Structures are given as structure tokens and as C-alpha cells.
């Protein structure tokens, strides 16, 4: 059984970047058959249609699959925001998503912050999104969002997190605010599988180094959304939910933090860590 956050987000999910076309649908069907029930997509991934098709073909009830999608930074303007969400719902073939995020804050405030954050809140009022959140937001923007929308309005902040980028300042702030972080790229593009410390701890627990990375992040209170199209890896990653790391394990993994950010485009905000 996959645990959920206080906001009801399953703590282990599946990233879908690159899962396009029939191959993408097949990989998502494998994941749903294995037991994944939290699927993360985005307007900019071009995987919303794959997700919708896989959920329909799976035979699972809509209520059994938690779907997250994200509004692209190119759709933040007032005239574009709500129509883009409506299009996402049509592409997914659903009346609403379980979680809707802002994918990136507007670069250099080209779109006023209040415009797109209020539009995000409006999707919840329209029942297009059960929960709302953000992605790639530093503390300063999280504070602006709380001032605008109120405490507890956001269900998550999805950011790059893995053993080599643990973002202690952002993590401490999020814990103080009871705001779960969702870790994208939790396996650091496969880098975790080559790490000796994670391999050693994996051997101790009888799982892969990747599963240890996921178990560590979940133990830190984060949601994880690893991506894979391999059924074997999907199963291996799922074993993370059964791993209980001890204090020595946690300390050894915390020592791996090196601020190793992999995703840092020109449009990125000023990071805290």
C-alpha cells in the first residue's frame, strides 16, 4: 500500500517525460498493472494523451488513479491559462485532475505573479483541479503564494531532489509550512545506481541503489516520481515503499548532498540551495 501525504498525494508516483506514442501508452499500462496509482504529466511533455489513453485502457476507475498535470510557463497569461487547462482536460479525457501545478514561475515576471496564481486557484473553484500546487518555486515565491492564496492552499512544490541535491534550506522551509515537496528526477538521471554508498545500503536491504534513493527521499517527507519504461525497473522502484532506513543509513545518504543540480535553465528562478 502506497502511503499518501496529508494532502492525499500518493508518495510514490510515476514521471512520464518521454512516454509518447504507443510505446508510451504501453509503458504506462505496465506501470498501472504493477501498481502505480499516481501519474505525473505536463502540458510541455506531450504525454497527457498517453496518460489518458493508458488510464482508459487499464480498466481502472478514474478515482483509482491520481493524475497530476502542469501548466506550461508559455500559458500563464490571463488569456491563455484557463483555455490551456481546459485543453489538458480534453486531451486527458477527464473532467478534472487530482493536482494541477504551475510548471515554472514566469521568467522575469513577464506575466504578473498574481495573474497566474489567482488563475490556478480559480481552476480549483471550477472543479478542474482537486488540489493545486507549484513547481520550481523558491522560498520567496512560496511566501508570495501564501500571502496571496492563504496558508495551506498549495498541496506541493515539485522540484529537483535526489541524494546529490537535497536542498536543505528549501526542505526546512517546506517542513515548517507542512508543504510536501515532490522530487522530480529522484534518481539523478541514473547517477544513483552508480553510487557506492547507495549500492552498499541497497545490498543491506536487498534492494537496488535506486530503491534506496527513493526510500530516503520518502523518509525525508517527500513525494517521488521516478520515470522508467522498463517493467523490471518499475518493479524495482516500487520496492522502495517496503524499505525502512535506519539512522546510520540516513546519515550516510545525507552526507552525499553536493548541491548537484542537473536542471537549471535560463528561465529558472534564483534557487535557495
Strand arrangement, sheet containing 223-224: 14-15, 38-40, 66-71, 99-102, 132-135, 154-160, 181-184, 223-224
The radius of gyration of the chain from alpha carbons, rounded to an integer in Å, stands at 18
Active-site position among 45, 116, 173, 184: 45
Known catalytic membership, residue 36? no
d(CA 28, CA 51): 7
Closest CA to 186 of 101, 121, 253, 113: 253
* C-beta separation of 126 from 151 below 8 A: no
* C-beta separation of 211 from 242 below 8 A: no
Catalytic residue numbers? 45
Amino acid at each position: 500500500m502506497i502511503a499518501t501525504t496529508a494532502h492525499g498525494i500518493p508518495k510514490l508516483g510515476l514521471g512520464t517525460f518521454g512516454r509518447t506514442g504507443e510505446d508510451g501508452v504501453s509503458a504506462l499500462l505496465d506501470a498501472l498493472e504493477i501498481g502505480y496509482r499516481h501519474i505525473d504529466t505536463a502540458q510541455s511533455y506531450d504525454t497527457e494523451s498517453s496518460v489518458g489513453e493508458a488510464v482508459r485502457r487499464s480498466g481502472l476507475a478514474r478515482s483509482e488513479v491520481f493524475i497530476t498535470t502542469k501548466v506550461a510557463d508559455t500559458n500563464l497569461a490571463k488569456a491563455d491559462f484557463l483555455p490551456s487547462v481546459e485543453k489538458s482536460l480534453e486531451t486527458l479525457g477527464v473532467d478534472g485532475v487530482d493536482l494541477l501545478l504551475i510548471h515554472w514561475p514566469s521568467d522575469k515576471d513577464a506575466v504578473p505573479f498574481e495573474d497566474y496564481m489567482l488563475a490556478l486557484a480559480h481552476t480549483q473553484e471550477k472543479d478542474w483541479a482537486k488540489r493545486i500546487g507549484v513547481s520550481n518555486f523558491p522560498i520567496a515565491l512560496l511566501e508570495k503564494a501564501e500571502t496571496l492564496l492563504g496558508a495551506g492552499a498549495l498541496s506541493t512544490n515539485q522540484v529537483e531532489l535526489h541524494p546529490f541535491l537535497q536542498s536543505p534550506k528549501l526542505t526546512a522551509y517546506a517542513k515548517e509550512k507542512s508543504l510536501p515537496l515532490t522530487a522530480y528526477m529522484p534518481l539523478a538521471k541514473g547517477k544513483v545506481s552508480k553510487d557506492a554508498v547507495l549500492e552498499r545500503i541497497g545490498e543491506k536491504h536487498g534492494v537496488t541503489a535506486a530503491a534506496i534513493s527513493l526510500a530516503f527521499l520518502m523518509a525525508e517527507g517527500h513525494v517521488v516520481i521516478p520515470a522508467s519504461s522498463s517493467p523490471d525497473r518499475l518493479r524495482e522502484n516500487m520496492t522502495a515503499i517496503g524499505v525502512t532506513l535506519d539512522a546510520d543509513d540516513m546519515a550516510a545518504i545525507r552526507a552525499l548532498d553536493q548541491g548537484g543540480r542537473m536542471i537549471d535553465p535560463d528561465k529558472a528562478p534564483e534557487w535557495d540551495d
